[in-house]
Structure 1
Amino acid sequence: MRMKRRGLKLLVVLVAALLAASVGSGALRPTATTVGVGLTLSVDQSALGVTVGSQAVVLGTVSQPGSLLGSVSLAVTGAPSGATVTYPHTVIAGVPFVISVLTGASTPVGSYALQITATSGTSSATITVNLVVSLPTGFTMVLSPPSRTVVDGSSTSYTLNINRGLLAGAIGLQVTGLPQYATASVSPSLSILGSTATVNVNVPTNVVPGSYLITVKGTALLASATASAYLIVQPQTYPNFPISGTPDRVLSPGGPIGAINVSMTNPFNAPMTVTNLGVALQSTDKTGCGIGNYQVTAYSGPASLTIPANSTRTLQQLGVPRAQWPQVQMLNLPSNQDACKTALVQYKITATGNGA
């Protein structure tokens, strides 16, 4: 039988994410954890101190096994009178949440046990945080909102409100707790005479994703105060960095195997590490010619490939031997001699890109 040569078309569908990462100061880690029936509840501070007229914040996370479905309800009890407690009443497992306690002028000085309870169906977990309320030394400050979520490579801001009391002089401000490489500025200035300021935080792409407790310290002639809020940094993602490739052979039944010299473009200003490279058959445009007429051999080269900033590299240019490229072959079946004639085969190339 005469072998007929088949045409081939490659459809590239990209699944990729560029994650900015670096070596920096460590993000917050849980200091207290309670394991309930099917739920685990953690907080990063087991004790909080707050002055009357100020705000305390604590960050928590809930985890649950995959067998538990549905949302996780959150409840907080035990706050002192005259205090306002703010928190999300429904949380997602694995996603950090922030609880804030804003004390008022009528809040009594003392020690209180805040009970945080997470519930999912019949499963629950409770953890206790000790809250100590004391008198201020002359003025108080509140940083709001209690938390900001920001993506690597962007910026955010907080509002600092100062209750001066009888204080009339300048207050010097200092911002601490920022992750490595992040910067902060205070407007109108680092030494203010008013009662309101804006704290701007810039988070470049090399900041390690995580949760950070940002603290503003105010210092006057005979008094000082602090105000804190959380900065939650999420990784930067890029859903479509360019990737493509076609087999280097024309496919025919039982004919030579075509190897795909995948080409990857890094459009970003930092090296990109590509992992999880794969090729999968999608469909053909011929009735009666299914993808079962073709066979794909997975990529078997190095698990990690580095693409320099603002450049394109093929597997060949990266030194990967042809035998390790993804490969596709048309099987020699009686049913595909005519049914697959001039068929256009669609493929999906997938990869994950991580910022260096």
Structure 2
Amino acid sequence: MTPAANGSATSALSIVTTSATVAGTYTVTVAGASGTLNHSTAVALTVNAAPVPDFSISSSPTSVTLTQGGNGSSTVTVTSTNGFSSAVGLTVTGCPANATCTVNPTSVTPVANGSVTSALSLATTASTAAGTYTITIDGTSSGALNHSTTVTLTVNAPAADFTISASPTSLTVLRSSNGSYTVSVGAVGASSSVTLSVSGLPSRTHSSFSPNPVNSGGTSKLTISANRNAPVGSYALTITGSNGNFSHPTQVTLQIQ
């Protein structure tokens, strides 16, 4: 090139690397010559290693809580980075005894720089021990790349429940007298403390439970006392038990004579 007198001229230096170019730092020298005149300038060239295709793996939600015998799920996402587009095999470890933990499909292939999902299914039984478990989902590609994600599985025992009944189902109480029902509370699952109440009583009557509360699996005596002025008639009473988790009623009839 030829600069103008006391002026300047430019030329573009183009540097092209290939995938075979070794990463490193190089000094590129540009020399200019005109007759006996010779000058040079240097350009520092840094070649970085090409990004390695890879993938990441995640799960959502990362925590699942189930009652024994319940089912749940989480979505496992495999995301491509740097153009990765190979198959990723998925395996699950950490599943508790008497439960099943599976992914479907077991192999996924994301598009380059995209993502793909697989469903993690969690199924417990009544025999699965209550507790907290770490479920690990491993993703492996060609044996060289391996990444994992975890899901915390919490298994709870069912809340204690109960049944309630009373006998007799019909009771006659004379004025200025009293009578009693036997209230039976049956346990469903774990035992619990059940508080009893009664509604529907006519005026000038009084009720008391003994004991109250009562443990499920036990009985309580409901005594009804009628004043001498208690109104004669037939009354539908509702006896209700509550343990904080569940509330159940039973009905009886009271005759005042």
- TM-score, length of structure 2 as denominator length: 0.55
C-alpha distance after superposition, 1:250-309 (max 9, x if no partner): 32345453231526496xxxxx3443244322232x4xx15xx2232324898453xxxx
3-state SS, counterpart of residue 250 of structure 1 = strand
**Alpha-carbon spacing, 1:219–1:202, altered in 2? closer, same or farther (3 Å):** same
Contact 2:71 2:122 in 1 (8 A): yes
Q: Find the counterpart in structure 1 of residue 222 from structure 2.
A: 328
Q: d(CA) in 2 for partners of 1:254 and 1:179?
A: 63
Tell me if 1:182 matches 2:182: no
3-state SS, counterpart of residue 329 of structure 1 = strand
**Cα drift, residue 162 of structure 1:** 1.4
3-state SS, counterpart of residue 344 of structure 1 = strand
Single out whichever of 217-226 and 255-264 deviates more from structure 2. 255-264
- TM-score, length of structure 1 as denominator length: 0.42
Q: d(CA) in 2 for partners of 1:238 and 1:301?
A: 15
1:84-103 alignment, distance < 5 Å: none
Tell me if 1:295 matches 2:211: no
Larger RCO: 1 or 2 (CA < 8 Å, sep 6+): 1
Match of 2:197 among 280, 304, 307: 280
Q: d(CA) in 2 for partners of 1:178 and 1:281?
A: 47
C-alpha distance after superposition, 1:20-71 (max 9, x if no partner): xxxxxxxxxxxxxxxxxxxxxxxxxxxxxxxxxxxxxxxxxxxxxxxxxxxx
Tell me if 1:172 matches 2:89: yes
Contact 2:176 2:225 in 1 (8 A): yes
Q: Find the counterpart in structure 2 of residue 231 from structure 1.
A: 153
Q: Find the counterpart in structure 1 of residue 63 from structure 2.
A: 147
**Alpha-carbon spacing, 1:171–1:279, altered in 2? closer, same or farther (3 Å):** same
**Alpha-carbon spacing, 1:348–1:332, altered in 2? closer, same or farther (3 Å):** closer
Structure 1 stretches lacking a partner, 5+ long: 1-135, 267-271, 306-314, 316-324
Structure 2 stretches lacking a partner, 5+ long: 1-51, 111-115, 246-257
Tell me if 1:347 matches 2:242: no
Q: d(CA) in 2 for partners of 1:156 and 1:330?
A: 49
3-state SS, counterpart of residue 349 of structure 1 = strand
**Cα drift, residue 347 of structure 1:** 3.4
Identity of aligned residues (%): 19
1:200-219 alignment, distance < 5 Å: 200-208=121-129, 211-219=132-140
Q: d(CA) in 2 for partners of 1:301 and 1:238?
A: 15
Q: d(CA) in 1 for partners of 2:152 and 2:134?
A: 5
3-state SS, counterpart of residue 153 of structure 1 = coil
Contact 1:244 1:262 in 2 (8 A): yes
Q: d(CA) in 2 for partners of 1:255 and 1:145?
A: 63
**Alpha-carbon spacing, 1:332–1:346, altered in 2? closer, same or farther (3 Å):** closer
Q: d(CA) in 1 for partners of 2:128 and 2:53?
A: 35
C-alpha distance after superposition, 1:105-143 (max 9, x if no partner): xxxxxxxxxxxxxxxxxxxxxxxxxxxxxxx99431111
**Alpha-carbon spacing, 1:141–1:234, altered in 2? closer, same or farther (3 Å):** same
C-alpha distance after superposition, 1:205-261 (max 9, x if no partner): 44455554432122331121011233344554598x653213475323454532315
- Please tell me whether Structure 1 or Structure 2 has the larger radius of gyration of its CA atoms: 2
Q: d(CA) in 1 for partners of 2:54 and 2:118?
A: 18
Root-mean-square deviation (Å):
3.9
**Cα drift, residue 184 of structure 1:** 0.8
Higher strand share: 2
1:65-144 alignment, distance < 5 Å: 138-144=54-60
3-state SS, counterpart of residue 144 of structure 2 = coil
Q: d(CA) in 1 for partners of 2:211 and 2:104?
A: 54
**Alpha-carbon spacing, 1:353–1:206, altered in 2? closer, same or farther (3 Å):** farther
**Alpha-carbon spacing, 1:236–1:230, altered in 2? closer, same or farther (3 Å):** same
Contact 2:211 2:220 in 1 (8 A): yes
Single out whichever of 256-265 and 193-202 deviates more from structure 2. 256-265
Match of 1:162 among 78, 84, 88: 78
Give the AA of the match of 2:99. Answer: A
**Alpha-carbon spacing, 1:173–1:350, altered in 2? closer, same or farther (3 Å):** same
**Cα drift, residue 187 of structure 1:** 0.7
